[in-house]
Amino acid sequence: MVRHLILPLAIACSIPVPAWGIQAHSGEGLVAHQMGHVLLTLTMALLAFRGLRAPSRGWRRIGLGAALFALWSSAAFVRHGLDPGLHPVVQALSLDHLLLVPALLVLWAGVRSLAREPAP
């Protein structure tokens, strides 16, 4: 069943169309968005603190992923507050995928490791 969906899905994903994925943040929307970054940073920092101290390998990986998410969210918070331009700090903070992709991979590896551990 799934094999029959792979080719049509691959073809559909390869057709170029406008993504319209960028949203301008201004006014109250920016404040709410920044509040979201603060809350995400705090919760990921707490999860990282607890996860990195856990005896389980899976939880330590989840803690590392959470620490990377906290770094990504705090960098995005700072980036949203800066004026866009060619300043090197703005350019460096625009490379947020260098933190986000490893965070997702490490978090996935941690969950996978927990799923493979024997039940207590």
pTM score of the predicted model = 0.76
CA 65 to chain centre: 9
* pLDDT of amino acid 65: 97
Q: In whole angstroms, what is the distance from residue 71 CA to residue 107 CA?
A: 14
Q: Looking at the domain assignment, is residue 9 inside a domain?
A: no
Q: Which of 69, 115, 117 is CA-nearest to residue 96?
A: 69
Domain that holds residue 105: 27-116
Residue-wise pLDDT for 25-83, tens only, equals 667 778 888 999 999 999 999 999 999 999 999 999 999 999 999 999 999 999 888 87
Total domains in the chain come to 1
The pair of structure tokens assigned to 32 is 């709410």
Q: Looking at the domain assignment, is residue 12 inside a domain?
A: no
In order of 13, 23, 116, the CA distances from 93 in angstroms are 28, 18, 36
Q: Looking at the domain assignment, is residue 10 inside a domain?
A: no
